[in-house]
Amino acid sequence: MAQFLFEADLHGLLKLDTPIPNAPPARWQRKAKESGPGPSPVGVSPMKPANRSHSSSKTPSKTPGKSGSKIQNTPTKAGGDRYIPNRSTMQMEMANFLLTKENDPAEESPTKKEQQKAWAVNLNGFDVEEAKILRLSGKPQNAPEGYQNNLKVLYSQKTTPGSSRKNSRYIPSMPDRILDAPEIRNDYYLNLVDWSSQNFLAVALDNSVYLWNHTSGEIIQLLQMEHPDVYVSSVSWIKEGNYLAVGTSSAEVQLWDIQQQKRLRNMTSHCARVGTLSWNSYILSSGARTGHIHHHDVRVAEHHVATLAGHTQEVCGLKWSLDGRYLASGGNDNLVNVWPCTQGGGGDFAPVQTFTQHQGAVKAVAWCPWQMNVLATGGGTSDRQIRIWNVCSGACLSTVDAHSQVCSILWSTNYKEFISGHGFAQNQLVIWKYPTMTKVAELQGHTARILNLTMSPDGTTVASAAADETLRLWRCFEMDPIKKKEKEKASSAKSSIIHQSIR
């Protein structure tokens, strides 16, 4: 029984309601001893009479507090309490042990053992007990000394100290404006903001789409989904800025007229949510969670004119090139596909390029406006790389580690740079110089990961929507007025030459 005592001791130490052994006897105990064994019955412990004596010898001089403390002084191990006065017939140690310790499996009956073994064999396909575990000795060196597991460094990036890089221009570190975006869905795979050529910023907040007029500052609620469970998963302006395409979680692609604030079309062809949209004049391309991309000709009744099947998981990035020759798509399957605008010989669309180098979902997809056939892509959390490709040759021109999930990339012609939006840990926007791929600036301010980026029609301002329910407008590509004048002069000079030659 010795081991039970030890166990019981251990458990007793951890419990508050068991008696304290070896403690100096309480006042009433001493009193009881003094008064002798008079009122004590058959019970063994001195505690019992204590309880009795408490009830019988309560004197008026005793304060309530004192009597209270008497009750709290619990009996010794085999003793009773006010509920069960006599516990001498109970085996406290044994009971304690059995209640608190798990049963020793060796006590199981042989049939139970057989049953368990049969279950194990069924579940594991083999008898795990019977398996031998082997280890190959002579393991190679661990990573060299001084190697720090860089994942920790990666995910807890500290802000880089002010670099000595000379910026050729001033980029304000604070946003121009901060807009409230309540209820914006914190879903990496959606594309919830777009800026039109008419200077309207469309923002999808859960099941509604709001338009913010940048010139006047006015806000209009354009639409709200009829069904409460349906949310808007993507928005995209047509080039002219008078129609807005809206993709929903109910697999619909809707077309809205802004001037009349009316829905023109509701195109259904997908069977899962439409997370991304891209226009190529009158063709609207939509990417869905199934991995399919549909081309819709919005002018005709039979809108669904083509299906591109190149992804096995959600399509989150979709962009037509500026000349309309190629469509780039990025998916959750880590692939980037480049599609031609016309079908191949067999009538099927097949990608002219497929890039598998990204190790994470590719949502950031952007075409270079001043160099033909150059595409920038950015990978998600598992990848964190920004890659520049030549889609004709299929070569990866450069790669840079952004150290953070890339959600969006936008090119800027004003300074031949591009800007990328990031998530954990700094939630920053980074401006990179092209083609040197050096960091020009980092814009911080968001308190949660950035979800989308979009650019103003004049190319000077970038709007970032983040999970912190704000939209920040950064005036980072402001043209120097002198330089601007030069540019305008140059473009006007060109046109005048043309006029001369025509004459």
Please report, as ranges, the residues that interact with other proteins according to CB under 8 A.
Answer: 124-126, 128, 130-144, 147-152, 155, 333-334, 356-360, 381-382
Contact at 8 Å (CB) between 232 and 224?
A: no
Cβ distance to other proteins smaller for residue 136 or 497 = 136
8-state DSSP, 45:
S
| Smallest gap from residue 283 Cβ to other proteins (A) | 29
Count of CA atoms in the C-beta half-sphere (13 A) of 114: 3
| Smallest gap from residue 153 Cβ to other proteins (A) | 9
| Smallest gap from residue 436 Cβ to other proteins (A) | 22
| Smallest gap from residue 381 Cβ to other proteins (A) | 5
Closest by CA to 47, choosing from 67, 69, 19, is: 19
For residue 209, the cross-strand partners are 204, 223
Cβ distance to other proteins smaller for residue 92 or 336 = 336
| Smallest gap from residue 370 Cβ to other proteins (A) | 29
Distance, in Å, from the CA atom of 227 to the CA atom of 247, rounded to the nearest integer, reads 14
Sequence-distant (≥ 6) Cβ neighbours of residue 315 within 8 angstroms: 275, 276, 287, 288, 289, 291, 292, 293, 329, 330, 331, 332
Cβ distance to other proteins smaller for residue 63 or 150 = 150
| Smallest gap from residue 122 Cβ to other proteins (A) | 12
344 burial via Cβ count (<10 Å: 0-12, 13-18, 19+): exposed
Cβ distance to other proteins smaller for residue 334 or 412 = 334
| Smallest gap from residue 351 Cβ to other proteins (A) | 13
Contact at 8 Å (CB) between 337 and 393?
A: no
CA distances from 134 to 22, 120, 131, 316 (A): 52, 20, 9, 44
Contact at 8 Å (CB) between 32 and 53?
A: yes
| Smallest gap from residue 310 Cβ to other proteins (A) | 12
Helix (H) or strand (E) holding 330: strand 326-331
Cβ distance to other proteins smaller for residue 124 or 173 = 124
Q: Listing from the earlier edge strand, what are the strands of the sheet with 374-379?
A: 362-367, 374-379, 385-390, 395-401
Q: Listing from the earlier edge strand, what are the strands of the sheet with 177-180?
A: 177-180, 470-474, 462-466, 450-455
Rg of the chain's alpha carbons, rounded to an integer? 37
Closest by CA to 234, choosing from 134, 337, 130, 363, is: 363
| Smallest gap from residue 332 Cβ to other proteins (A) | 9
Cβ distance to other proteins smaller for residue 126 or 282 = 126
Cβ distance to other proteins smaller for residue 75 or 379 = 379
For residue 210, give the 3-state DSSP assignment.
strand
Cβ distance to other proteins smaller for residue 241 or 360 = 360
Closest by CA to 196, choosing from 259, 261, 234, 242, is: 242
The gap from C-alpha 251 to its chain's centroid, in whole angstroms, comes to 23
Cβ distance to other proteins smaller for residue 20 or 395 = 395
Both tokens of 280, joined, read: 């190529």
| Smallest gap from residue 228 Cβ to other proteins (A) | 30
Cβ distance to other proteins smaller for residue 103 or 141 = 141
| Smallest gap from residue 403 Cβ to other proteins (A) | 12
Sequence-distant (≥ 6) Cβ neighbours of residue 225 within 8 angstroms: 207, 208, 231, 232, 248
Cβ distance to other proteins smaller for residue 25 or 394 = 394
